[in-house]
Structure 1
């Protein structure tokens, strides 16, 4: 089911509830529903320009005094690189924040440049000096991608802490590597070499697993926070009996903190983000390895294309200064940001932190719904060695 259909279901389900007295809150009924059916014009280096619709919805499942806003962001997009991107990503808080449901559903018919493993890969294609006969640098890849992630988290007493389990499925199919330019030298593509070495299929791979999750949710509004913090620790087990090509396990850690810099203008703040994704045991297919820009909303690594860096282990950090641009209003705002990422690879022998890839940039923000802080964000980021990109999205980067 596409994101549009999901949003329409919530919209129609909410109509009779919106007509009721808003002072009476029944647990787990949809209240204060707001749907923004935005036409979508977006951009990033991996997809080019994207056109379509990107509905964004917020609602409550309980009293505003003790229940966070739930949110859902959807996309039905076609890009200038002839890609189809259909997705639905949601965070739903039940009454009194007693449960959190987190969903990430995608169906992509897409393409992407890939550069090999580690943090030292060059921009232009060349023979890997450490793996003779293998391409290094930019190589093109077409593929289809189905993702179904759903996590259920239970609140621990009256705290901000949650524990839960999830099911995560990624299916990569119709994988095809090619070079955009006519190159006479015949070498093995990086992804093919990795998959052959690790005994994965070259054209279809599946990762299916259960996650054990611990979360601290202390943000005021998840999509565009002004204060406090968020933390996630997720251990994923991918056994063959659930459909994975090979058994493996991974560990993901994610921490975000928001420091208000003004008592009267909470939009004036410093936001910091730390993110790590590590292969603990076994092997993953090439496309499922930790990579830049593959967090839930694809916001890491501004200044580089999605997938620009990849490896068995990654560490990422970012700091962003956010500020209002108007003296007495909050509609327009700006940001400046810096980030850094490092990737390690057992296959290439490159250690984590041996090479760090920094990025930086600035952005412009427009709040189109003040109550739920739905925001249009436009950023331009710069990376090393001529890497750069324009990013147009909904809501804050993190």
Structure 2
């Protein structure tokens, strides 16, 4: 418990400081209410902890804006950067963009990530079974676009380049240098009433990712990813009930870096990276309780399973996760939350900083 009191304290201190600054400048801001800002800018602190990367801290400046001020249909676009350092000596630098334009006829994204990730994985086919550390220098660049086909239905194309250089503790595996070029075809059904904080509607996404040898990949492989999110308003539209199914299925020769690991937003409460394989399926539900316009809490629970693990006894077992979280509205004009989630899983737990909702 002592190990994560500090990040929780710093996060609460940030919120209190932010509220004080808002109160100090309230008179000035009231004069600006008739004139909406062209660009909303915020700098978010990043504070988190898990049993793998340990204590994580950094900063995330973000911009929210309209590409065309006369476009009243498209959601506001979002751009930002992040710089994160961890006490296990990992670091990550990223830039992200999501654009909505032409009255929501077009959607586009651009993402860049570079860093050095020091992590671990679990091995049993070795003289001394257990966790072994590995370090990966990574660079990822992804760009995609989607076009509306009919109301609520979009089709899109994404290209993702990734380069990984992985070294393993005690040479339990040889150094692995992997470079992939992925072509993704996707279809999106989106009837949500808001992009960043929906209270009603459905988001269903189907993605087919191909890694063909003719496109610069040493080994051909394919992945299919699917997700289905459903949102229901509750308590006279004050709260939200959200449900999610997620599945990712590897086909062919899946590289170590392309495998999926139980954890992240799909089943919170897993941070050690123990359960990984070629495919994963997960379901979860979440209740989002808003006790005022700026703050709220969430409760969530879910269950996952994997297949294609290098440890066969991990395959097709049930991995539950349950937890609670705190939310704070980052922007004034658009409902967009940041927060902390604390969750427990099977022999594991984690505390995660959240930019936006989990799904």
Alpha-carbon distance between aligned partners in 2 of 1:303 and 1:348, rounded to the nearest angstrom: 20
TM-score (norm 1): 0.75
Select 2:268's aligned residue among 302, 305, 327. Answer: 302
Number of aligned residue pairs: 326
Q: What SS does the aligned partner of 1:300 have?
A: coil
Question: Structure 1 residues 289 and 390, CA, compared in 2 at 3 Å: closer, same or farther?
Answer: same
Task: Indicate yes or no: 2:108 matched with 1:101.
Answer: yes
Alpha-carbon distance between aligned partners in 1 of 2:66 and 2:193, rounded to the nearest angstrom: 13
User: How far off is 1:51 after superposition?
Assistant: 2.3
Alpha-carbon distance between aligned partners in 1 of 2:331 and 2:309, rounded to the nearest angstrom: 47
Equivalent position of 1:13 in the other structure: none
Equivalent position of 1:235 in the other structure: 208
Equivalent position of 1:342 in the other structure: 305
Alpha-carbon distance between aligned partners in 1 of 2:51 and 2:354, rounded to the nearest angstrom: 13
Equivalent position of 1:284 in the other structure: 254
Contact 1:237 1:248 in 2 (8 A): yes
The one-character-per-residue Cα deviations of 1:100-123 (angstroms, maximum 9, x if unpaired) are 11233211211112125xxxxxxx
Alpha-carbon distance between aligned partners in 2 of 1:242 and 1:82, rounded to the nearest angstrom: 34
Question: Structure 1 residues 220 and 337, CA, compared in 2 at 3 Å: closer, same or farther?
Answer: same
Q: Which runs of 5+ in 2 are unaligned?
A: 1-33
Equivalent position of 1:123 in the other structure: none
User: How far off is 1:264 after superposition?
Assistant: 4.0
Alpha-carbon distance between aligned partners in 2 of 1:135 and 1:301, rounded to the nearest angstrom: 29
Equivalent position of 2:99 in the other structure: 92
Q: What SS does the aligned partner of 2:276 have?
A: coil
Contact 1:150 1:166 in 2 (8 A): yes
Return structure 1 stretches of 4+ with deviation > 4 angstroms: 346-352
Select 2:224's aligned residue among 240, 251, 257. Answer: 251
Alpha-carbon distance between aligned partners in 1 of 2:309 and 2:121, rounded to the nearest angstrom: 18
Select 2:163's aligned residue among 145, 157, 171. Answer: 171
Select 2:295's aligned residue among 306, 327, 332. Answer: 332
Select 1:384's aligned residue among 318, 324, 346. Answer: 346
Equivalent position of 1:184 in the other structure: none
User: How far off is 1:217 after superposition?
Assistant: 2.3
Question: Structure 1 residues 273 and 104, CA, compared in 2 at 3 Å: closer, same or farther?
Answer: farther
Alpha-carbon distance between aligned partners in 2 of 1:67 and 1:22, rounded to the nearest angstrom: 19
Q: Which runs of 5+ in 1 are unaligned?
A: 1-20, 24-30, 117-127, 180-187, 193-200
The one-character-per-residue Cα deviations of 1:211-270 (angstroms, maximum 9, x if unpaired) are 1111112233333322212111111110123222201111111111111113342xx111
Higher relative contact order (CA 8 A, sep 6+): 1
Q: What SS does the aligned partner of 1:97 have?
A: coil
Matches within 5 A, 1:48-87: 48-62=54-68, 63=70, 65-87=72-94
User: How far off is 1:171 after superposition?
Assistant: 1.3
Equivalent position of 1:3 in the other structure: none
Task: Indicate yes or no: 2:197 matched with 1:224.
Answer: yes
Q: What SS does the aligned partner of 2:103 have?
A: helix
Question: Structure 1 residues 371 and 264, CA, compared in 2 at 3 Å: closer, same or farther?
Answer: same
User: How far off is 1:372 after superposition?
Assistant: 1.7
Task: Indicate yes or no: 2:108 matched with 1:145.
Answer: no
RMSD over aligned CA atoms reads: 2.5
Contact 1:44 1:392 in 2 (8 A): no
User: How far off is 1:146 after superposition?
Assistant: 1.0
User: How far off is 1:72 after superposition?
Assistant: 2.9
Alpha-carbon distance between aligned partners in 1 of 2:127 and 2:219, rounded to the nearest angstrom: 24
Q: What SS does the aligned partner of 1:61 have?
A: coil
Q: What SS does the aligned partner of 2:155 have?
A: strand
